[in-house]
Each structure stands twice: as C-alpha cells, then as structure tokens.
C-alpha cells in the first residue's frame, strides 16, 4: 500500500498538469459559448414560481422585487410576517401576479416541509428555490459565553437551506428548475472573528457543489457569494456571543464608511445570473481577486486577518 501511494504521488501531478493543459482550451471555448448563449437567451421568468427564504429584508427582500419585475409568482418565507406582507404588497405592485406570504422558521425541519408543500399546492409547481435566510456572527470562539450557542448559527445558515432543498427536489426535478443559495464570501475567504459564521457558509458551498453533481442536468444550482452589500448585517444586526440576535452598536459604528454595494444592485445581478444558469456569482465582482490570493498566498490573508483582529473592538 505504501508503494502504491508513492507511485501515485509521483505520477498523478504531471498527468494532472498535462490533462489541464490539454483540456483548458476546449473548456474555455465551451464556457465562452455557454456564456454568450446565456446572455442572449436567458430564462424567461414570466409565470415561473419562485420561493424565497429570508424574504422580509435585505437581499431576500430585493430578490423578491427583482423576480416580481420579471412577472414571477412568489412564495415569500420569513419569521416576521408583518414586514413580509409589506414586501409582498410592493412585489405585487412591481408586477408579480400572485404573492404568497408564509411565516416560518427555516431552522425547523417540519416548517420547511410545510412551506414547500404550501407553495406547490397553491401554485401547482416550483421553478426556483432561493435559499437566502441566514444570520451573521462576529465573535471569536473563546469569547462565546456558551459554545453550544453556535448550534443556532448552523441550524439557520446551514440546515436552514438544506431542509427546504430536500423537500423541494422532487418538484424542481419535475420543472427542471433552479436552486439559488446565498453563501457569502465568508464561505471561502477568512474573516476577522468569523470562524463560526464562515464555517457555516463553507459547509453550504461543499454541500451544493456536491449536490450539483447529484441533480444535474435536471436541476441547476447557482452559488451566490455576496461581500460588502447593504443588509441587516451591515447595520450591526448579528448573533451575539450571548446567543441572541440583536443590533450591536460597536459593529454598526465600525462599518460606517465602508463602500457597501446597494442591496438592489446585488439582487439584480443574482437574478440575472440565475436566469443565465451560471454556477457562481461573487458580488461585488472585485472580491474575486482574493481567490487566487487565497490559493497562492494564504499567509498574506492570514496575516491580514490576524492584524485586523488585534485592533478591532470586542462586541457585547
């Protein structure tokens, strides 16, 4: 067995490099053609049924507006029903023929099954599942008052997408639909005091990249990585080290002056990419420059993160 591993260590690297050099031109042409076709012939969303979780505010709210402008039927899910109804009213004014409001908690598996069933029973089908619900965390592991508090973060950020996806798959296969999942750049880029939050988002990336292989070609998946985008997180609403969701004035004051992209522009880009069937989108685009840095010079990002940690104030 040891000899086999030594052999593979010697043989696989050069074979892989040669294979990449051989396939790269063909893959580049294939991607270019697909990109052009996507721009020229995007999916017509008029009359499609779209379910959006976390739709009462921020990116989820504006995704509802963008889909509404395209004439899609909407199922909007969130815990705050009053706010959700305001979003539904505006979406109807913007062009959605029918908007269904569902109060639910995505961390509850039974409620996830229920809202999938409610949408399908009401509209008769499901074309896009947009898994957008999530909570932010700005806390080092050792600052947590109780490490088990972080279970809530995984329940919302990870299982809050997996649960509805599981129940939606049969209907999405039937319609050859799409899954759009919001993972944040934190899923692949380290962030100061973001160990638990980034882990929850990284888990989503791995899950949906594997799921893409299981469901293709009947269901396509778009993985969304927003960076500095206006949201409740950017206004300081976070999951605190005490295990509660509240507005942290320290974070709210700290992020002032950061050039956040508008939520509307981000949502517009996400819907456009989903309509084209792209696999990934990072918004704003400039965050993409960090990916090769992460692969080639991880020490630079680690040093930057450590330096920021050293002078950032602790949250409440």
Active-site residue (options: 65, 138, 197, 208): 197
CA-to-CA distance for 73 and 127, rounded, in angstroms?
10
Residue 5 lies in a domain: no
Q: Quick one: pLDDT at residue 243?
A: 59
Which pLDDT tens digits describe the chain residue by residue (316 residues)? 778 777 778 878 888 888 788 787 777 786 777 777 777 778 899 999 999 999 998 999 999 999 999 999 999 999 999 999 999 999 999 999 999 999 999 999 999 999 999 999 999 999 999 999 988 877 777 777 788 888 888 999 999 999 999 999 999 999 999 999 999 898 888 887 778 888 999 999 999 999 999 999 999 999 999 988 877 666 656 666 665 666 665 565 555 656 778 899 999 999 999 999 999 999 988 888 888 888 787 887 777 777 766 666 565 5
Residue 19 lies in a domain: no
What total of structural domains would you count in the chain? Answer: 1
Residue 209 lies in a domain: yes
Has 166 been annotated as catalytic?
A: no
Supply the pTM of this predicted model: 0.88
- DSSP for 122-191, written as a single string: HHS---EEEE-----B---GGG-S-GGGGHHHHHHHTHHHHHHHHHHHHHHHHHT-EEEEE--GGGTS--
Residues of the domain holding 171: 48-311
Please report, for the domain that includes residue 94, its CATH number. 3.40.50.720
Residue 274 lies in a domain: yes
Residue 226 lies in a domain: yes
Residue 214 lies in a domain: yes
């Amino acid at each position: 067995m040891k000899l086999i591993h030594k052999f593979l260590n010697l043989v696989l690297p050069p074979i892989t490099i040669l294979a990449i050099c051989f396939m790269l031109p063909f893959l580049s042409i294939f991607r270019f053609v697909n990109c052009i076709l996507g721009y020229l012939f995007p999916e017509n969303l008029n009359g499609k049924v779209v379910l959006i979780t976390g739709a009462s505010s921020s990116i989820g709210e504006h995704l509802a507006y963008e889909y509404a402008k395209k004439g899609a039927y909407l199922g909007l899910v969130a815990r705050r029903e009053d706010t959700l109804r305001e979003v539904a009213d505006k979406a109807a004014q913007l062009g959605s023929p029918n908007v269904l409001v569902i109060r639910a908690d995505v961390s509850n598996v039974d409620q996830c099954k229920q809202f999938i069933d409610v949408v399908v029973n009401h509209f008769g089908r499901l074309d896009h599942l947009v898994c957008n619900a999530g909570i932010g965390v700005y806390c080092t592991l050792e600052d947590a008052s109780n490490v088990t508090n972080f279970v809530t973060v995984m329940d919302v950020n990870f299982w809050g997408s997996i649960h509805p996806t599981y129940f939606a798959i049969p209907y999405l296969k039937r319609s050859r639909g799409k899954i759009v999942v919001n993972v944040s750049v934190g899923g692949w880029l380290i962030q100061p005091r973001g160990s638990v939050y980034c882990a929850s988002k990284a888990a989503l990336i791995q899950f949906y990249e594997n799921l893409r292989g299981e469901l293709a070609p009947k269901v396509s998946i778009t993985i969304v990585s927003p960076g500095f985008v206006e949201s409740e997180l950017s206004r300081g609403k976070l999951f605190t080290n005490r295990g509660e969701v509240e507005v942290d004035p320290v974070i709210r004051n700290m992020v002032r002056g950061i050039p956040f992209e508008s939520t509307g522009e981000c949502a517009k880009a996400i819907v456009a990419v989903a309509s084209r069937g792209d696999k990934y989108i990072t918004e704003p685009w400039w965050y993409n420059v960090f990916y090769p840095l992460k692969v080639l010079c991880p020490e630079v990002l680690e040093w930057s993160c450590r330096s920021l940690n050293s002078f950032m104030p602790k949250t409440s």
